Amino acid sequence: MPTINQDEINKTVWSACDTFRGTVDPSIYKDFILTMLFLKYISDVRQDKVEELTTQFAGNTDMVDAMLASQSFKIPAGSTFWDLYEARFEAGNGSRIDQALHAIEEENGTKLKGVFQDISFNTDKLGDEKQKNDILRHLLEDFGKPTLNLRPSRVGSLDVIGNAYEYLIKHFAAGSGKSAGEFYTPPEVSDLLSIILEPQQGDSICDPACGSGSLLMKCGKQVQKNFGGSKQYALFGQEAIGSTWSLAKMNMFLHGEDNHRIEWGDTIRNPKLQDSNGGLLHFDVVTANPPFSLDKWGHEDAESDHFGRFRRGVPPKTKGDYAFISHMIETLKPETGRMGVVVPHGVLFRASSEGKIRQQLIEENLLDAVIGLPEKLFFGTGIPAAILIFKKKKDTNDVMFIDASREFKSGKNQNVLTAENIDKIVKTYRSGDNVDKYAYVATLDEIRENDYNLNIPRYVDTFEEEAEIDLMAVRSERLALQTELADLEAEMAAYLEELGYGA
């Protein structure tokens, strides 16, 4: 059986979206496509295993069933993708798919508990019963094509499936407008954060606003890359939106990230990542791209927060940026804790309660770096953002400012950080040195003098002086041009006179 390459599977899965295009909004059908990819993959894995075990145990069905029970995902009878595919011409495709997903959920206990409860194929959003049935029949047929045979014996590495899932999420984000930021961080920004934070073997890594989980998994990949494929790390996350939480869970499994704990709930109002005593869990690495300036973030309950997260001050009612920052700071381990968070620029300089929180964080010597990013990097917003790096234990009380806002690859709708751009930021950060018009290491006294304002232009001077104009040289050039023009006029007059057009 020929193997499949990444580009082929990406294109094939993306073309399956044609079933919905023009009929259903991408923000709705993304859940159907991604869930179907997950179901198809675990069904094909099972199919591969059934054939392998049937051969191995000479058709002994009892032995085959016993071995299947030990597989990563259990699929009860009648609930595989292929069972649904065979019944696709019958009425009730929507309810049949939902029943199959819930049966799989039940069969796999805590592993898939609640993963499909916020995703329903039997919905009026797909039209009346006949239209819905036709759409879902086409969807099953799209995923049943030979080009989407996802058996391990054909696709090889699990990464191929995980990468296809990420490919879909990225393309859905590109077309989802403002809502995209709810579930996806651009891969280049995730790369930058994961490299700067340097996750190590044995680290616990958390994203309290994890979306579909891509940033978390990038941190895990850094450990694998730097420690010979080691998976000695644990991933933790929390996500407020049910369907996005489901995507994160499926995304983890499709990337082979079994050592994870992803909770569903509002991180600020109801943090779920708690220890056995009801306190907040603490992590080596905490990173996030929270929603920018979230309104209605939980201001009304912050004053009485029994976790003490807002002891430095309560953020304003309509801007939740410092609510997430405060939460993240309180979940850092005291010795190894380090943190990277994406924020809008207002976080750097807004006054009032935010200014007081910012001052306190700086005076506690927690802030390590401020990195300005280019505009139009993030889906759903064109505004430039910044990354704040915090550390629980620093060697100095300096803060590095990096202005990386002018170095990027332009795109029609989105700008992109190239590998070279990322490498320059990382090398500059790690060197800790000033770089003319790019980076500056500010002392605590300098920041105090600026009244704790972290606006990057106050520290990194990017002003380009215009070249001095040599007026005498300009005058000489002007006189030379006048002489040349006079000669040309005389030459032209002679030609005209010769042709009989003289005065």
Residues 478-492, buried b or exposed e (16+ Cβ, 10 A)?
A: eeeeeeeeeeeeeee
H runs (alpha helix) in 364-457: 419-431, 444-449
Residue 24 β-bridge partners: none
Pairwise CA distance, residues 275 & 203, whole Å:
17
Give the three-state DSSP class for 421: helix
Q: What's the pTM value of the predicted model, to 2 decimals?
A: 0.86
Half-sphere exposure of 209 (CA within 13 A, CB side): 26
Say which residue the tokens 């392998």 belong to.
52
Say which residue the tokens 């580009």 belong to.
7
How far lies 370's CA from each of 106, 310, 450, 503, in Å?
46, 22, 15, 73
Pairwise CA distance, residues 274 & 281, whole Å:
5
State residue 65's pLDDT score. Answer: 64
H runs (alpha helix) in 175-255: 187-197, 214-226, 242-254
- Per-residue pLDDT 10s for the chain (503 aa) are 455 678 888 888 888 888 888 888 877 888 899 999 999 999 998 888 877 777 776 666 666 566 666 667 889 989 999 999 999 999 999 999 999 999 999 999 888 999 998 899 999 989 899 999 999 999 999 999 988 888 888 877 667 888 888 888 888 877 665 454 566 788 999 999 999 999 999 999 999 999 989 999 999 999 999 999 999 999 999 999 998 899 899 999 988 898 999 999 999 999 999 999 999 999 999 999 999 999 999 999 999 999 999 999 999 999 999 999 999 999 999 999 999 999 999 999 999 999 999 999 999 999 999 999 999 888 777 788 999 999 999 999 999 999 999 999 987 778 999 999 999 999 999 999 999 999 999 999 999 999 999 999 999 987 656 667 778 888 888 888 888 888 888 888 777 777 777 65
Residue 332 gets which letter from DSSP? B
